[in-house]
Structure 1
Amino acid sequence: MAPKKTSKGARGGGSSSSGGALEPPKPFRIAPDSLKPFTSSLSKKHVYIAHVDQKPASFKRKIFSVPIMLNAVVFALFLWRMWYIIPYYVALLSSSFLGYENSTTIRMADLTYRQFFAVAGRRTLTFLFDFVLAVFVWPWPIEFVFGRKHGSPVLWRTAIGFRDKEIYVRRSRSWDTQVYGVDIFSEKPQGNEARTILWDMVRNATSPMLLQEKTGYLTMNGDWDLDWKAMVKATTLVDKKEIPLDAFRTLVLCHHDKFGWIAIDMNESGENAQEAERRRQVFAFRDALTAIGKENLFYRWIEVIQFETQQGGFTQERQIEVAQKIRDLFKENGVDFDAFWKEAVGSDPSVGL
């Protein structure tokens, strides 16, 4: 996103960076240096969104089994088609170019016009069908397994396996051509339009409901594609302790020629940071309970919290009583609330009491 003219917001709202450049206006900020091992592997022509999916590994395994089976079926059908049709094409070529008579040979003198056009029509449809298979269908299983440019789902799963906490990285599709090469901080019409497009795309893609209801594999759509290589890179960096996992929680990155890689603070765009974190914790807790077949316990927990907070007079003593009530409720169902919350959410269990 090449800058053409620095906007007033960028001139007046930032402080000098290490290179002497001004900070971009909020909610944009220069990506921290700690992310350089990750951003160095990204294309500057795309916008990227990373988030941490906390759906249970067993659930992700089930989701991933669907494309595996679909691609296996496509591959098997393609092999069957080759086994069935190759002898036909060999015979056709032998008859057409080598002059050998066989079942594909056509004698015009022996055919009526109706018969000739029927044969020509069938062969045309056969050629068209096989062309579509070879050009449009065959690449599916090939890309699924090998992935020539951005990696592949199989290579990604082979590298990281299935985890309860996985990093997903989405890469913008063709819409980013409306943003790339434009100074998104410019107040000119072109800059305003590019900034609006970027905001709309990013806001829709980072909706808390979307990220919590869908596992990361299902966040691909017409606007965003998963970058398998970037996902392997991010996971490897976290495994090596070079970048903390929390750095990838709803991380939005795009490149600007003046500021380099910049991140977008989505909490500045409307939702309070504390509310967003609270929402994430609740969904993570629900998913963890669902994974062990205790989804009803989640809704009973919600009922207790709502009932007690609506009673009024929620004093410190009352809070202690409610906390014990919740612990007892979970204990009756064979769950240690404090330990389970800590494992599922990763924060102090008192937050959920």
Structure 2
Amino acid sequence: MARGFNKRTKPSSSAASPTEIPPPFTKAPLTLAPLLDRLDPAQIHLIHIDRHPPAHKRSIFLIPVGLNALIAALLLWRLAHALPKYFTLLQTLLGYTTTLTVDPDRTTRRQQLTILLKRTLMFLGDFLLFRFIGPWPLTFFLEQPANPCTWRWNLGFRQEEIIVRVSRHWGVEELLGGGKKGEESPFFKTRVLTAIEPSFMRKTGYLMMDKSWDLEFEVMQDAHELVKRGDLRIGEIDKLVLAHQDGQGWLCWRWETDDEVVEGRRRKVVQFKEALTGMGKESLFWKWTEIVEEERDVDGGFTRDRQERVARRVGEEFEREGVDFEEVVGRIGGLGEVPTK
């Protein structure tokens, strides 16, 4: 990449007392420092790896290329036809006689009002066209320091592409400020969780821009350059939510897909069984399974009361065998979301 990195300038703040890190966030690892230096600390960032086939990404990207090229051509055509007319109107306003001069003695009041209305609508139409439609091709082709075209020009279409989304019209103040922070914040539930839903994550990265999230084309290029240099590993930044908190620095949360959650639960159950088998108490594993299934199958759903009853019954069974249930679970790092409590 020919251009150099532009390091983000963090806003200065007075030394604040350390604040508690709200769940589900934890301190971002130091290995992410090369990338974090390029992020805006006032915004929330979502990072994941887009593994859609390159051919699919190419076909998706060609649509906005063609659309913006068509819009640019229509705007240039309108500009070529409108500028001479506006120049003639300017001469008319300066008092020169032109083809657009209206002779009040040879036109009726109705004709004069019609001419005024037509020109007003022309002014209004051109203003709306260039004010609201004009920026589309400009930002797509020419926005600096990076835009969709420079992103694709520098990276091409790869099997693994780093996608960096940045919050739009909201940020760290809404997520980590106020009384409800982190997962308790309504912005976490309505902006973050909805942006990582499995159905939404099936989209390719370029289609993830919406009213709440934009794409950081410059940072995406920088991230690939960091990976190429060996300063960053691509697996470290997959499925990450990044936010900067005063007093703590950068925080991160790594979300899991449904398949990963199921696989994680399966691994915990296997570790639990192996731990009991190693103690010569494999029968307790099957007793635990039996109790969980009994409570699950009762009408009314697996409520909090039934989960507590599972924990109580399991604890009693383990106690009869002289085994500390909590100690075994702690040894394998917990059972995660396996319903035992």
| Equivalent position of 1:203 in the other structure | 193
Is 1:45–2:42 an aligned residue pair?
Answer: yes
Offset, 1:198: 2.4
Q: In the alignment, what sits opposite 1:104?
A: 100
Secondary structure in 1 aligned to 2:223?
Answer: helix
Of 215, 228, 233 in structure 1, the residue corresponding to residue 222 of structure 2 is: 233
Q: CA deviation at 1:208?
A: 2.1
Deviation at 1:231, TM superposition (A): 0.8
- Aligned 8 A contact 2:49 2:160 in 1: yes
| Residue identity in the other structure for 1:153 | P
Superposed displacement of residue 180, structure 1: 6.3
Deviation of 1:193 (Å): 9.4
Whole-Å separation in 2 of the counterparts to 1:177 and 1:46? 5
Whole-angstrom distance in 1 between the partners of 2:125 and 2:196: 40
Aligned pairs for 1:249-268 (under 5 A) are 249-267=238-256
Q: Aligned pair 1:159/2:154, yes or no?
A: yes
Q: How many angstroms apart in 2 are the aligned matches of 1:46 and 1:259?
A: 15
Whole-Å separation in 2 of the counterparts to 1:167 and 1:123:
49
Map 1:153-192 → 2, pairs under 5 A: 153-176=148-171, 179=174, 182=177, 188=179, 191=181
- Conserved in 2, the CA contact under 8 Å of 1:252 and 1:264? yes
Q: Quickly say closer, same or farther: Cα 1:35–1:206, change in 2 above 3 A.
A: same
Residues of 2 paired with 1:72 and 1:122: CA distance? 29
1:224-252 deviations in Å (ceiling 9; x for gaps): 11111111111111122211111121111
Give how far 1:275 is off.
Answer: 3.0
- Preserved CA contact (<8 Å) 1:38 1:234: yes
2:26 counterpart of 1:29? yes
Change (3 A) 1:122 1:74: same
* Counterpart residue identity of residue 195, structure 1: S
Aligned to 1:72: 69
Point out the structure with max Rg over C-alpha: 2
Letter in structure 1 aligned against 2:122 = T
Q: Write the distance in 2 (CA, Å) between the matches of 1:197 and 1:238.
A: 31
Q: Return the alpha-carbon distance in structure 2 between the equivalents of residues 235 and 199 of structure 1.
A: 30
* Residues 134-171 of structure 1: per-residue CA shift (max 9 Å, x gap): 2222221111112236x210111111111011111100
> What amino acid is the match of 1:204?
T
Contact 1:46 1:180 in 2 (8 A): no
- Normalising by structure 1, report the TM-score: 0.66
Deviations 1:60-101 (A, max 9, x none): 01111011001100110011111111111111111221x332
Structure 1 pair 178/122, CA: closer, same or farther in 2 (3 Å)? farther
CA drift of 1:274 comes to: 4.3
2:203 to 214, 224, 244: 214
Following superposition, the deviation at residue 178 of structure 1 comes to 5.3
Task: Give a deviation string over 1:4-38, Cα, whole Å, max 9, x none.
Answer: 8877xx3xxxxxxxxxxxxx254211111111111
Give the letter for the 1:71 counterpart. Answer: N
Q: Aligned residue for 2:135?
A: 139
Q: Is the Cα–Cα contact under 8 Å of residues 144 and 153 in structure 1 kept in the other structure?
A: yes
Which structure 1 residue ranges, 5 or more long, are not aligned? 11-23, 279-353
Q: Do the aligned partners of 1:178 and 1:194 also contact (CA within 8 Å) in 2? A: no
Mark the CA change 1:208 to 1:4 in structure 2 (over 3 Å): closer, same or farther. farther
Question: Does the 8 A contact of 1:52 with 1:167 survive in 2?
Answer: yes
Write the distance in 2 (CA, Å) between the matches of 1:4 and 1:181.
15
What is the total number of aligned residue pairs between the two structures? 253
d(CA) in 2 for partners of 1:78, 1:246: 43
| 1:118 paired residue number | 114
The one of 90, 94, 98 aligned to 1:93 = 90
**C-alpha separation in 1, matches of 2:65 and 2:190:** 33
> Is 1:83 the equivalent of 2:80?
yes
Letter paired with 2:252 = A
SS at match of 1:169: strand
C-alpha distance after superposition, 1:199-244 (max 9, x if no partner): 4311111112211x21111111111111111111111111222111
Q: Any conservation in 1 of the 2:26–2:252 contact (CA below 8 Å)?
A: yes
Instruction: Evaluate the alpha carbon distance shift between residue 95 and residue 173 of structure 1 in structure 2; reply closer, same or farther with a 3 A threshold.
Output: same
78-87 or 170-179, larger mean C-alpha shift:
170-179
Name the TM-score, length of structure 2 as normaliser: 0.68
SS of the residue aligned with 2:105?
helix
- Within the candidate set 220, 224, 230, 2:213 is matched to 224
Letter in 2 for 1:96: L
Which piece of structure 1 moves more, 240-249 or 120-129? Answer: 240-249
Identity score, percent: 34
